[in-house]
Structures are given as structure tokens and as C-alpha cells.
Copies of this chain bind each other. A is one copy, B any other.
């Protein structure tokens, strides 16, 4: 068993189409997790993730802050306690519309290559 605070994990800048976004890989293959990866994203005020599509799904839990998520149906507001399920192959983007960090958990399956 591994127990630690997510803020102890080094955050890395997300490049390629993102603005003011940092990611922490909190539970992954490095910890021995066999099936899915837990990451925590921090999006600064005015920041956004890339608008993109990929074959694998996202399971998201909004921890703090507020913002909007884009889908094929347009933008929807998101806030602390909201959960977002993004099926594979659906376009999506997150942006921070507030004045403090937008933090969310976002999980992906480990074997992403097999599902392309």
C-alpha cells in the first residue's frame, strides 16, 4: 500500500495546445497500478487543456475551482464535486473560468495503445 498527499508529487507543465496546465501522475504503473492511471490536473486562471479527441475514455472528478468543459454539445459549467465521463472518441476541452486554480482528477486506462 502507498499513502501520500498528491501535492508531494512533482507537477509537470503540459505543453502542446495547453495553457497554464500542470499535471501530477499520482497513481500509475510506477506505483504498480495495472489497469488505470490517476492524474491530478491544475489549470490556472485563464488556462485551458487542448481541444482534442482520442480513443480512450476519461473519468473526471472536479476537486476545486470552477470552469467549463467542451463537448459536441457545446460548453457546460463545472465546479467542485462534479463528475464528468468522456467516452472514447469524443471531443473535449477543459478551461478555467474562475480566479483560482481549477483542480480535477482525470483517470485513463493504462493500455491506451491497444484501443487506438
Contact = CB atoms under 8 A, between A and B. Distances in A.
A1 B27 CA distance: 24
A18 interface: no
B61 A33 contact: no
Nearest to A1: B71
Interface residues of A, number: 40
A83 B35 contact: no
B59 A27 contact: yes
Contact of A4 (B32, B83, B92, B109): B83
A77 B21 CA distance: 30
Given A35-B109, A38-B61, A27 B69 contact: no
A107 interface: yes
